[in-house]
Structure 1
Amino acid sequence: MFSKITLIIGFLLLSAGAIHAQDKPEVTIGGALRFNYNLSSWKEGQKKRGGDFGYDVFRVNAKAKYKGIKLNAEYRLYSEGFGGGMLKQGWLAYDFDAKNEIQVGLTQVPFGITTYNSHNWFFSINYYIGLEDDHDMGVKFTHTDKKWNYALAFFKNAEELKFGSNSDVSDSRYSYDVASIDLDGDGVLDLRNKETNQVNGKLSYKIGNDSINHKIGTSVQYGGLYNLDTEEMGSHYAAALHYELKYKRFGVKAQVSTYKKSPKNPNGESDEIIAMTAYGAPYLVAAAGNTYTLGVQYTVPVKWGPVSSLQFYNDYGYLEKINSDFKDSAMNVTGVLVSAGSVYTYFDIAAGKDQPWLGPVWKNALANGTADAKWEVRFNMNIGYYF
């Protein structure tokens, strides 16, 4: 079946060159440079020195079009501690017409509210378990209309960088994927699973006009989890219902999601947890759970020198873990996005409970959690110049 899909895609892409007459290629280069300041309640040394301000990321975006074939790529350079260089996305595309497109490569997974199920710099709790702004390697078909929108996709795997028979997933990646982790510090990786052969479907319907509109949708995904030690194929699935409201300068994003990962781990390794990784460091996640997210925003146009708008928002997310022995996780981000020409600055007050990026516990926060977990707070300011 996969061979037939590959042949069909190849035929479509080759045919596109004959259909479209474009004598000169179109190339656009852009990018961004971002800096970050943060002050965290659980970091005593940082509090004593008044927080830290440093380099976040430098990224390069490239778009091209020639003879009907389009390219879209984004490469990011983080510090070595956050994974170093990584391709966020990179795909080729062909537009059959104004409504229908096919993409091939490292492309965004059509699941939940896209492009983002959030308004803030941290995203929602779904991002940290691989259910928001995820990018995988495969083929995606999208149909975009005034009312009905849908997407169908097949992903062979997540970003593959090693191509070995028994290679673990690299930690250098932008979006969270199932991976491996050293549980006991002995230098040997455990829970060695990889995503493979995933199918996705997303459908949404838009009601209203330019002044006020509602978008109601649903998403599903199902795929395999290949264990590198047992060489057996497990499975994983996720489903979601989502809703968006836009009324003049006011907006709402709401989503309910459920997921379950069923790996075929070796004897002695728990099936109640799964390893996931991004930004250079893996952690553990509950193998099954439900998430609830709600975000609201209101944009105020202003004329303060270069400042043209202020977008105020609040995003809340909750992870309900199916294992009753695990402690649930939550996060809430209140902030404002300040737009000034090509400079965009996020001012966020991010609070987390059993959230690895918003608290002192990294490895187990999204898995079994901690019995005495408290809400921790991080003030974050991210300044980016986009060109």
Structure 2
Amino acid sequence: MNIATQHHFHFRKHFTTLVIPLLLVALLSSMPTYANDLEVKKPTVDIGGAVRVNYGIKDYDQTSKNRNGEFDLELLALDVDATYEDWYLDAQYRFYRGQDFDTIHHALIGFNVNPENQVEVGVVAVPFGVAPYIGNSFWFSGAYYLGFEDDYDTGIKWKHQGDDYSFDLAYFHESEYSSSDFNRYSFDVADETVGAKGGYYTVGDGTNLAANEEAGQINARFIKNYDNFNVGVSGEIGRIYNSNNAETADRYAAALHTEAKFGLWKVKAQGIQYEYDETADIGTQDGTIAISGFNFASDIASKGRVGILNISREIPINNRFIDSATCYNDFTHIKGTSDNDLGNDESMQNVTGCMLAKGGIYTYLDVIAGKNMYFAGGSGIGTQGADDWDTRFNLNIGWYF
């Protein structure tokens, strides 16, 4: 071995002897830091919920009048929110004591693509109409009982927030529960054959009962924001499947909507046109179709127009008992436009009241009046019914935490 080779050998030997241990030390010293990073990146979880009590008295219910109304623990809710890096979970489950059922309100997993875009999968809010909803009162607007406000279905949604606009696009495979299960929070198409055994307010002679269900739905909503108001347009197309005869039919809905603020005053307005195909394939040839929610089902007009005008004013108070009050009048007019007389009548709902807020405590004092309006003395919506107005006084106190 020559001198040059010996020096080269000794150099490699010393390099290996010195450098490799140093690399091992560096690697080992980095492992605790890596472990600490893993510990730091644990998901964050928040548990919350709500408790609500309710008192109501109905002028159209003799039992309610004889008992001076009903008072009950109306709602218990469990809320779970979690985040991990760009992922998030949002779910709520509700127990309704007054209606004797429990249900999912929403349950979704979301991903923050970037600050402007999110994708959500699960039981998610349907993007349609004024966001997040048009109603000011505890009762929402009449559109809620048609399935066009605060509705939740099972699917996937993309949300985009621009500088002065928002855009939502969603596909829903089905409603949150089977159409034969009326124990749902939001209103969706009902299986009439199941409801005919009880809990279904049918219009007419109860013929043409169909086992209908929602089978695919696409929603899109665009809202353009200006200094003190916004203007939006919403669209919905979908199919109804009748499992009795394996037939399908189409449906659609479209809406124009706006929300404006003038100081402490706020105005919300919305017009909706909706239509289910009137065909024997899904039992709508009589001009009606059944939808369900809150443990009951009722007929609605298979075609209709909806007009909503809601006005409210915020009143700052800021004392020990109340932070602010918001007083409002919410009015909804619904006109069934079916070619068949059973689905060609009008329904109206008017709610006058105030919402008192103190931290997470919200108190609603409402007088709700309805004409031929489901949940206000009527048997359906936009269907053949009574011309009398029915009234209900309602007090609801809820603590959201």
What's the TM-score bracket when you normalise by the shorter of the two chains?
Answer: 0.7 to 0.9
Residue 107 of structure 2 aligns with an amino acid whose one-letter code is G
How is 1:180-195 mapped onto 2 (pairs within 5 angstroms)? 180-182=191-193, 190-195=209-214
Q: CA deviation at 1:49?
A: 2.6
Distance 2:40 2:188 in 1: 38
Q: Deviations over 1:181-212 (max 9, x none)?
A: 2599568992211111111111110011xxxx
Aligned to 2:26: none
TM superposition shift of 1:82: 2.5
Describe the superposition over 1:28-63 as per-residue Cα deviations: whole angstroms up to 9, x where unpaired.
Answer: 111100011111111122223321111211001111
CA contact (8 A) 1:21 1:67 kept: no
Does the C-alpha gap of structure 1 residues 152 and 194 become closer, same or farther in structure 2, counting only changes over 3 Å? same
3-state DSSP of counterpart to 2:317: strand
Offset at residue 265 of structure 1 (A): 3.8
Corresponding residue SS for 1:96: strand
- Kindly provide the CA deviation profile for residues 157-198 of structure 1, in whole angstroms up to 9, marking residues without a partner as x: 11135xxxxxx5311111000011259956899221111111
Q: Which moved more, 1:20-29 or 1:310-319?
A: 20-29
Take 2:160 and 2:196, find their aligned partners in 1: how far apart are those partners?
Answer: 47
| Alignment correspondent of 1:197 | 216
Alpha-carbon offset, residue 264 of structure 1: 5.2
Q: How is 1:309-320 mapped onto 2 (pairs within 5 angstroms)?
A: 309-320=324-335
Secondary structure of the residue aligned to 1:45 is: helix
Q: After superposition, where does 1:210-359 map in structure 2 within 5 Å?
A: 213-262=228-277, 265=280, 270-323=285-338, 325=341, 326-359=344-377
Structure 1 counterpart SS, 2:65: helix
Which amino acid is 2:397 matched to?
I
Q: Secondary structure at the match of 1:357?
A: coil
Shift of 1:124: 0.4
**CA RMSD of the aligned region, Å?**
2.2
Q: 2:180 — aligned with what?
A: 169
Q: Deviations over 1:336-373 (max 9, x none)?
A: 001123211000010000112111x33xx215232x42
Q: Relative to structure 1, is the Cα distance of residues 92 and 199 closer, same or farther in structure 2, using a 3 angstrom cutoff? A: same
- State the alpha-carbon separation in 1 of the partners of residues 53 and 195 from structure 2: 35
Larger radius of gyration: 2
Is residue 2:396 matched to residue 1:385?
Answer: no
Q: 1:310 to 1:197 in 2, by over 3 A?
A: same
Q: Structure 2 counterpart of 1:87, which letter? A: I
Contact 1:83 / 1:278 at 8 angstroms: preserved in 2?
Answer: no
Is the deviation greater in 142-151 or in 178-187?
178-187
Change (3 A) 1:103 1:58: same
* Residue type of the alignment partner of 1:75: Y
Q: Provide structure 1 residue ranges, at least 5 long, that are not aligned to the other structure.
A: 1-19, 162-167
Letter in 1 for 2:387: A
Decide whether the 8 Å contact of 1:64 with 1:72 is kept in 2. yes
Q: Counterparts of 1:95 and 1:289 in 2: how far apart (Å)?
A: 38
Instruction: Point out 4+ residue stretches in structure 1 off by more than 3 angstroms.
Output: 182-189, 263-271
How far off is 1:276 after superposition? 0.4
Residue 190 (structure 2) aligned to one of 179, 189, 199: 179
Distance 1:224 1:46 in 2: 40
Cα distance in 2 between the residues matched to 1:77 and 1:36: 14
Contact 1:320 1:329 in 2 (8 A): yes
For 2:388, the equivalent position in structure 1 comes to 374
TM-score (norm 1): 0.86
Deviation at 1:267, TM superposition (A): 8.9
Structure 2 unaligned runs (5+)? 1-37, 199-205
Asked if structure 1 preserves the Cα contact closer than 8 Å seen for 2:180 and 2:194, the reply is no
Give the stretch that moved more between structures: 116-125 or 175-184.
Answer: 175-184
CA distance in 2, matches of 1:199, 1:267: 20
Look up the equivalent residue of 1:218 and give its one-letter code. Answer: V
**Residue type at the aligned position of 1:90:** A
Evaluate the alpha carbon distance shift between residue 157 and residue 269 of structure 1 in structure 2; reply closer, same or farther with a 3 A threshold: closer
Name the counterpart of 1:6. Answer: none
Look up the SS of the partner of 2:143 in the other structure: helix
Q: Secondary structure at the match of 1:146?
A: coil
Counterpart position of 1:8: none
Paired amino acid for 1:322: T
**CA offsets per residue over residues 128-179 of structure 1, 9 Å max, x none?**
0100011011110011133111011111111135xxxxxx531111100001
The change in CA–CA distance for 1:206 and 1:182 in structure 2 (over 3 A counts) is: same
Q: How much has 1:78 moved relative to structure 2?
A: 1.1
Cα distance in 2 for partners of 1:273, 1:300 equals 42
Q: TM-score scaled by structure 2?
A: 0.83
Conservation of the 8 A alpha-carbon contact between 2:177 and 2:184: no
1: distance between equivalents of 2:329 and 2:223?
A: 24
Identity over aligned pairs, percent: 32
